[in-house]
Chains A and B, each alone.
Chain A
């Protein structure tokens, strides 16, 4: 096939972030008038690749060829001008403005002369209506965006892409918050756009959807291309196989922990007040056990764990710590019951970037250093901080260094130190190795294994299947807020976990 048959060619794209190679020689070729699905596990590099295409990230190596000519986008504006639109995973319209103002944001039609230009609301209304009619969307262009449903907002974003006369539209998990009817409507719009020669790059985890709508499927794994296949030749099993198959030798330390039969945490029928979140989740955690929690984005694993830790409200369900029924309404209460939570968003809810490493280590535990005269025993603080830094081998000039100057892996170790100082019995680790380079990952695994060996009980959420399989005694799988199964770590397979993760999709 000649090169000109493709509307878009991304050749050998590489992109590194400090400590991580996110993309390693990835290629993607898209034909006009097709739906091209991009698939891969969480963290395989799909979103990074799309951000590179859209000009949000710069490219280290490789070339992007659009309509046969090489292009280089400095920012999203360049990409939009060149006919590429992206409908983001999290849509970001301006809520308290009208639909049409959102569609034409930054390029309102104007009338007037010289420097006296006024927004031409009449033309804007007509143009918006024309697009909506063409796409058979029923949205009032003058209503405020805040009044629209998620699916209508998405339609609006698609209309916006059409208004740019985009030839390539990227859709990142477009159906993740849509009902079945709404998905049907979205597919009709997609088919209409395809018939007009628009290429759609469609990112999704949902196998059945992909097989229904896609013409071609490109699969990525660990920042590399696996291949591109006609959708007609694929089945769910083949896709899963291609997404997960990889070498797993020596990536994890020997564990050596012996889970006992003693249940330290029991959760029964946990249900969130948010109907879109988790419901009726029950599980237990044994002493000295590592319980892996697997699932795809949107499985509500984080929400469940944060509720257990008292950060979110609970609608129904019971909880026992060491056989005693408890209500945990705040992190303070959770900490008092010897629990610890390492959050998923390290930057947002974990670190204090502008404070020192020392203050970060001690943040959850100042209480233990208050002397009889109510002052802090800074000498003992210093001693313990130094001990923690040495024990977890945190690479920092001293405890006085600012947290924001440490690498991701070392920041994570500091947060481990913080929680270890509180002497917890139950540690909830939410994506403990996210954004951490391979070497530091191994050290984190060693810390986790060591804790379990010392009789601590650990819940580890992870979106990386090898990590789940390599570290867990048992694996709890969630899908769309429900628990779909608990597997024995020794006998579980990636395929089985993947199937349970997509059970309701």
Chain B
């Protein structure tokens, strides 16, 4: 009797493990990466390395833990040390690309409505150049607008957001009113945005050269931090990303707009019958996304201290990848802010680990591609069974 019971328990455990492996294949791949990285490069897990990152980005560790908890707590295979390693890397990568979280959020909202936005990357580039062009130091030799008066810091950032917002409005209009599939509509505006930014930066006598020499108060927005104690400090860019995350969470979970966004993604016809203004909702979603790209563009320009017409190239695909890995369904109606954040963390963490392992960037792309496809292939199983 007792033996029979233990056999049953064994089977149950095995089943649970198999279930887990099927559901969280992406996580297992990442765990493997952490272990391999840790063994191959002990420095990766060294106290100095970890504590340094943790001190710089303590707040983000908390966020990463909060978001990652759902995924990581199921991972009984992961030892505590490895978890610290994972979250430390995650935090480090977040610091680098918190603007990227913002892009992913915009893209995610659109994906929920069964749409897609290929113009994201180019809009980021466009708005980065717009913001940068107005914030060059007055003593910088090759200013794009030599006679541009000094303006308050906020103005160019707002203008960049408005530019993104307008592109979003155009995207939404094409999708909602002209009924052009989002893939095609944003493929078009992506191309247009690139053309527009190239025209914008191509000014005699300098030609299409990078916009550099940005004002210190501007670059400080992305690179500065509030000192807390000793080495502990809180970077502004992380505060901004957190505010945006919270705002998006509120929109998707606590507003009528958010509920309508999910309804349209789940069944547009039923949404219409239920009195949802489908066109208006779609346009608003694209506008929000566009504004977020504008904010991200400004932050990116500030972070790297310059902007070129090629900035943001391919970022839309990274953002889509992150969302999809985070469980946002490309068939619409499914996806959470937490999932989007997780997807971003997954991708950036993976890149960092691969760098630590001295893997060539070419191989990094191969691995990234495999992870994206595997994540969706596993995720889609949940829905295939029901037919």
Contacts and interface: CB of A to CB of B under 8 A. Distances in A.
Interface of A: 309, 311, 330-332, 334-335, 341, 343, 348-355, 359, 362-364, 366-367, 369-370, 374-376, 378, 404, 418
A352 B271 CA distance: 8
A311 B275 contact: no
Given A332-B275, A349-B269, A352-B266, A366 B250 contact: no
Nearest to B334: A354
Main DSSP-derived SS at the B contact region: helix
A353 B383 CA distance: 11
Contacts of A311: 272-273
B370 to A, nearest CB: 27
Interface stretch (B94-102, B120-128, B131-139, B257-265): B257-265
Contacts of B365: none
Contacts of A374: 255
Given A351-B270, A353-B267, A359-B262, A376 B275 contact: no
A375 B250 contact: yes
Nearest to A346: B270
A505 B292 CA distance: 60
Place the interface of chain B in its size category: 20 to 34
Nearest to A419: B274
Nearest to B272: A331
Interface in B164-207: none
Contacts of B271: 352, 363
Nearest to B254: A375
Contact of B267 (A331, A334, A335, A351): A351
Contacts of A350: 270, 273
Contacts of B256: 366-367, 369-370, 376
Query: Which among A334, A348, A364, A370 has the highest number of chain B CB atoms within 10 Å?
Result: A364
A364 B274 contact: yes
B263 A352 contact: yes
A359 B259 CA distance: 8
Contacts of A309: 273
Nearest to A368: B256
Contacts of A363: 259, 263, 270-271, 274, 276
A332 B280 CA distance: 12
Please name the 7 residue pairs, one residue from A and one from B, whose CB atoms are nearest each other, closest first.
Answer: A352-B266, A364-B274, A366-B256, A335-B275, A349-B269, A363-B274, A332-B275
B333 A352 contact: yes
Nearest to A363: B274
Interface in B259-313: 259-260, 262-263, 266-267, 269-277
A334 B275 CA distance: 8
Given A352-B263, A352-B333, A375 B274 contact: no
A234 to B, nearest CB: 42
B275 A331 contact: yes
Given A311-B273, A330-B275, 15 more contacts: A331-B273, A335-B275, A348-B270, A349-B270, A351-B270, A352-B263, A352-B271, A352-B333, A353-B266, A363-B263, A364-B274, A374-B255, A375-B250, A375-B254, A404-B386
Given A349-B269, A352-B270, A352-B333, A362 B259 contact: yes
Contacts of B260: 366
A278 B271 CA distance: 25
A341 B273 contact: yes
A366 B258 CA distance: 10
Query: Which among A331, A335, A348, A363 has the highest number of chain B CB atoms within 10 Å?
Result: A363
Contact of A376 (B254, B266, B273): B254
B259 A366 contact: yes
Contacts of B275: 330-332, 334-335, 364
B222 to A, nearest CB: 31
16 contacts: A331-B273, A332-B275, A348-B267, A349-B269, A352-B267, A354-B333, A363-B259, A363-B271, A363-B276, A367-B256, A369-B256, A370-B255, A375-B255, A376-B254, A376-B259, A418-B274
Contacts of A418: 274
